[in-house]
Structure 1
Amino acid sequence: MSTDDRLAEADDQRLAAETGDRTPRTGDRLAGIDGPLAERGGEAAGGGLAGRKEASALGMAGRDEEAVSRFVERFAGELAQAGMQRMAARVFAALLVSDGAALTAAELGERLRISPAAVSGAVRYLTQVNMIGRERDPGSRRERYVLHEGMWYEIFTRRDEILNRWQKTLLEGAATLGPGTAAGVRLSETAEFFQFLNEGLLQLMERWRERKSLGSPPPS
């Protein structure tokens, strides 16, 4: 079991002890609808300005927080199945549904009902893979974790660099093995596939830039 999984399990057990339920509800863990957060009106830890602004934005949006909670856990599960660390996936999903696309560590801990250590590990991972950034509130030492603007574009653009490196390495391997060997042919075909994939990806990225520049409507 990974460190993130152990932290997640410990947080689930702690929440179960607090609520008297062996199986924490999704809504409890994310939005605290039936727990301490409900009593505090959704304010962030410490009642800071950023937390109040975020709570106000959520209230103005008139969203169904229980439904939002279910979405966060569902999307986090999809990301985890794709290979992302479970706790990092939950933190990323929580930031994604935040109107300001930015939350403090305390706010993340309260929304997801996880420990400071779990938040720290998750944001460290997300920062290392450039999925989120850090910023400070003016006049404050408190950090906020923010989603990068155009993050999906940046993530897939970086795949271009990765595919190029893989293609180069595979071609070198094919040359080492020899073009007449079965393994050499296999590596050459794999390199050709990555080249094809990379060319298609670059074309898609260009089409995306054009689409956004034209102000195309979002999908229905």
Structure 2
Amino acid sequence: MQQTVLQFVERMALICEKEGMPRIAGRIFGYLLASDQTYSLEELAEHLQASKASVSTNARMLEQFGMIQRVSVLGDRRDFYRVEDDPWERMLRVAQSRWRDMANAFADARERLPDPAGRVRVAEAERFHRLLITDCDALIDRWHALLAAEARTPTETAGPGV
């Protein structure tokens, strides 16, 4: 593996670990993000020097988070993985779904909790999560506008766009 790719993969491993994921999940995501190819579990395990079982478990987790996708190859029974076409929007949509579940749970509890102070805290948590959902929609709209603008004026390396 090229030194710059290896450094990036390891940096992603540490970042994902800070987010509560196993390091191997970050390595898988970083490796797939740095490449335009599709890899089998066996190939990922070999390239990342990890067990196939660990790669399989963490690839499924990353797939659930919307970061990577499983694809099939005609004539091959193995699972292959690649980065989602737009992992950023997909990850936000997955997070939004979790936030919506949380907001609904808070709303249900708010009506039933006997302690007034508990109801206030739960109501604040609900409002916060509803705000996250709304602001996330606005962020995704801005992201689409940025992508559309860049498509009209393509550049080799896009900047932050803020």
With structure 1 as the length reference, what TM-score do the two structures score? Answer: 0.63
Q: Which amino acid aligns with 2:34?
A: V
Shift of 1:145: 1.1
Q: Within 5 Å, which residues of 2 pair with 1:52-71? A: 65-71=2-8
Larger of the two Rg values belongs to structure? 1
**Structure 1: which 5+ residue stretches go unaligned?**
1-30, 32-64
SS of aligned partner of 1:214: helix
Is 1:214 paired with 2:149?
Answer: yes
Is 1:125 paired with 2:65?
Answer: no
Q: Which amino acid aligns with 1:136?
A: S
With structure 2 as the length reference, what TM-score do the two structures score? Answer: 0.83
Structure 2 CA distance, aligned partners of 1:158 and 1:129? 6
Q: Within 5 Å, which residues of 2 pair with 1:72-111? A: 72-100=9-37, 102-111=38-47
Q: 2:106 aligns with which of 162, 170, 187?
A: 170
Q: Which amino acid aligns with 1:72?
A: V
Q: Which residue of 2 aligns with 1:55?
A: none
The C-alpha deviation readout for 1:86-142, integer Å capped at 9, x for no partner, is: 222211211111132x21223212211223233222223323444322223344344
**Structure 2: which 5+ residue stretches go unaligned?**
none
Question: What is the total number of aligned residue pairs between the two structures?
Answer: 155
Q: Which amino acid aligns with 2:128?
A: F
- Cα RMSD for the two superposed structures: 2.1
Q: Which residue of 2 aligns with 1:137?
A: 73
